[in-house]
Amino acid sequence: MNRLFPLPDSLSFEQAATILGGADSAWKALFTEGELEAGQTVLIHAAAGGVGQFAIQLAKWKGAEVIGTASARNLDFIKSLGADVVIDYETSRFEEIARDVDLVVDTVGRDTEDRSWSVLKRGGRLVSLVQPPNQNQAESHGIKAMFNSKFPTPEDLVLIVELVANGTIKPAIDRIYPLSEAAQALSRSENRHGRGRILLSTLLP
């Protein structure tokens, strides 16, 4: 019951559906686990995605500097969300641009994680939302690395809802699928080329 909240009049059902698994995951990565503070720098991978779009806006709300990676077609989008530095991962290597980062939020994993260690300052943090980070690499770089260890509190979730309802955080919805097309929605999500959240609806034919 502590994850049930009244729906503000200013919030649509579609906007509300973007919070769980989207805004709350970004909050967890940035603040609950990442302990991001004002004035620090965060690198957000796949910044145009369902979690990344919220991570940019929440980090800017906190007063952090944001570096975001995305494909060329999404660079203007993540810049509009508040990213200070945007990197086209298809043409540039982010580790040649980002330096002395306090926090990396990784929603990609694999090679992206391997290349992220060098951009973090000693004492920094890496939070992965896709796989348990390599603890040997973390230790050798003097970094704390985490995966799904903590979650936002009910009080955090109330604040997230307020931030979305008052327009401080603006959800972007990539596409809404009918429940009968759940497989296609999953495929689009796994391709990681969407812009914003992917939703399922029981109201669509």
List pLDDT tens digits, range 113-156: 999 999 999 999 999 999 999 999 999 999 999 997 788 888 99
Q: Delineate the domains of the chain, giving CATH numbers in brackets.
A: 13-146 (3.90.180.10)
* Nearest residue to 53 via CA among 32, 30, 37, 34: 30
This prediction has a pTM of 0.90
How many Cα neighbours within 13 Å face the side chain of 105? 32
What rounded mean pLDDT belongs to the chain?
91
How far does CA 80 lie from the centroid of its chain? 15
* Nearest residue to 191 via CA among 74, 46, 69, 64: 46
Q: Amino acid identity, residue 13? A: F
